[in-house]
Amino acid sequence: MSASSKYWKLVRIDAAEDGGGYKLQLLPTAQAFFGAHFPEWISCQVQPPASVQRELLKLAQTHSRSEADGFKAELCLRCYISHPILQACRRRAQLFGPGHGFTYRDLLPFVLNDDGKPLRGAFVPFSVEILSSFSTERQGALAQWVDLRVRRNPELNQFLLECGLRISSDWALLNRANPKEFDGIDRALIEVFHLVYRHDRPQQHRQGMRQKCFDPTDAQLQAMLQALRERQVWMHSAHSLLNQLKQLAYRLRREDIWGRRGFPLTEPLETTDPDTGETRLKEIPAQTSTNDPEATERSELQAFCYEQLLHCLDQGIRDGIGDRVQTLKQRPRYAHLAHQVKPALRLLYFESKSQGQIAAHLGMTNQSQVSRILNPKELLTSIRQRTLEALLNRILERIRDLKLTAFPVLPDYLKNLMHQVGVFVDEHVFAAALTEINTSRNRSMDSLYAQHLRQILHEQEMNSAA
């Protein structure tokens, strides 16, 4: 399957009970238009560059929808948008569904309502709403904007509220945290937050602000900085303090949901107002900061990190599988089994077979042979390391381009960056993948890692058959 097919295959709801809740509908008009304008990418197995998307956006915005080219370009983008909509629903269900009785199929009707037809009457599909509100200058990556709009969708969030899902804001979490349960800088942060923020809450209540813990004001942040200095904790700016508070709240949120669910969080959370349903991604700055050049650069860097993570993950999977095959070929005892690596991975990640079932299916003498050639944890570790190193190098190049720090970077800066990138890739990809591998019964290989591994295996199978 071509990596460009997202631009002419529309994800639509499928009510069939035996299906996955959705189906891919090929739109010949979109396929022909894409092939005419980007013939070099029509059958390519690698993701088209961002310039293809920008050109489609330009064509869609230049022509009115009544004109053929404008409609066809927009149709390609509507197809594309339907895919990250599906993934956003999957992530939200994976994160909250087990504790609240819903699956991603329950979320799809709220946001996946595009039939690919020309617009008629007053109804506007959600994908068109997303496209109309998108600007590369303001929002950066389209896939990230789609994810944000799904998280902010009022009907979807109302459904989550009806399921009993209420997410506290960062500030509510910090406000009720017990400083005695922490030490070091974390304890100091909570203490000064309580000292300043709690002091001002009664005044907010008197002003009628009872339903929400509002963002700390600049004056409050400055007061917290002073209180930290009195505790011999030094931070160079209010912005740094705000980031530290958000990171601490994020950890509190993970622990809170981990405790309620009984297993670790595998997806990053956003800040949601339970009263309005409005949800904000941490990666996207608030509207008030759009004129701040530094905030814009940080936002661009964060969007860049997520985009590059997926590219690095795909290459890491290709290299990791290839290296596993070559390593086995060089071991006389297992060389004759090297060709079984990919079939074994397909049975594990496409059909969720156990190692005993894989051994029987591939005609191996015992389960230990599968364990030695497959070793999914070892493969996961190898792919994680490759992904981490590649992403770190790309981030360093981006940081240098944006001139966010001096080069060569200081050892402490590099060490801190390596730690943050490690946390980033684990939260987005590898924590969920490890949980899947460690699950012995009724496991479902639906993590981002599993999805990309299946895609790579499918591409390699198609290429070998061609």
- Tens of pLDDT, residue by residue over 332-379, are 888 888 999 999 998 888 888 888 888 888 888 777 888 888 888 899
Q: Which residue range forms the structural domain that includes residue 201?
A: 170-268
Winning range, highest mean pLDDT, from 9-13, 135-139, 358-362: 9-13
In this structure, the answer to whether residues 410 and 369 fall within a common structural domain is yes
Tell me the C-alpha distance between 125 and 127, whole Å: 5
In this structure, the answer to whether residues 112 and 16 fall within a common structural domain is yes
b/e map 283-312, b = 16+ CB within 10 Å = bbbeeeeeeeeeebebbebbbbbbbbbbeb
Q: Residue 40: inside a domain, yes or no?
A: yes
In this structure, the answer to whether residues 338 and 400 fall within a common structural domain is yes
In this structure, the answer to whether residues 231 and 346 fall within a common structural domain is no
Residue type, 93: A
Q: Residue 321: inside a domain, yes or no?
A: yes
* Residue of 354 and 125 predicted with greater confidence: 125
Winning range, highest mean pLDDT, from 164-173, 319-328, 418-427: 319-328
At 260 the pLDDT is: 46
Rounded average pLDDT over 138-154: 80
Last residue of a domain, one of 146, 162, 178: 162
In this structure, the answer to whether residues 174 and 156 fall within a common structural domain is no
Q: Residue 278: inside a domain, yes or no?
A: no
Q: Residue 275: inside a domain, yes or no?
A: no
Question: In 22-67, where does DSSP find H-type helix?
Answer: 28-37, 50-62
In this structure, the answer to whether residues 140 and 212 fall within a common structural domain is no
C-alpha distance from residue 77 to each of 69, 131, 148, 341 (Å): 12, 8, 17, 37
Q: Residue 119: inside a domain, yes or no?
A: yes
At 209 the pLDDT is: 44
* Residue 441 pLDDT grade (very low, low, confident, very high; cuts 50, 70, 90): low
144 near 284, Cβ under 8 Å?
Answer: yes
pTM over 0.85: no
Q: Residue 280: inside a domain, yes or no?
A: no
Residue type, 395: I
Rounded to the nearest angstrom, the gap between the alpha carbon of residue 52 and the centroid of all alpha carbons in its chain is 22
In this structure, the answer to whether residues 86 and 180 fall within a common structural domain is no
Q: What is the number of domains present in the chain?
A: 3
Q: Which helix (H) or strand (E) holds 189?
A: helix 184-193
- Tens of pLDDT, residue by residue over 243-301, are 788 878 877 766 655 444 433 343 433 443 333 333 333 333 333 333 444 444 455 56
Rounded average pLDDT over 202-207: 48
In this structure, the answer to whether residues 337 and 395 fall within a common structural domain is yes
Last residue of a domain, one of 202, 233, 268: 268
* Residue 407 pLDDT grade (very low, low, confident, very high; cuts 50, 70, 90): low
Indicate whether 109 pLDDT > 50.
yes
Least confident of 72-81, 343-352, 439-448: 439-448
Q: Which helix (H) or strand (E) holds 159?
A: helix 154-162
Rounded average pLDDT over 42-51: 80
* Residue 153 pLDDT grade (very low, low, confident, very high; cuts 50, 70, 90): confident
**Which tokens belong to 440?**
């012995």
Q: Residue 279: inside a domain, yes or no?
A: no
In this structure, the answer to whether residues 300 and 221 fall within a common structural domain is no
In this structure, the answer to whether residues 250 and 357 fall within a common structural domain is no
What is the rounded (10 degree) CA torsion for 23, 429, 433, 366? 100
Q: Residue 287: inside a domain, yes or no?
A: no
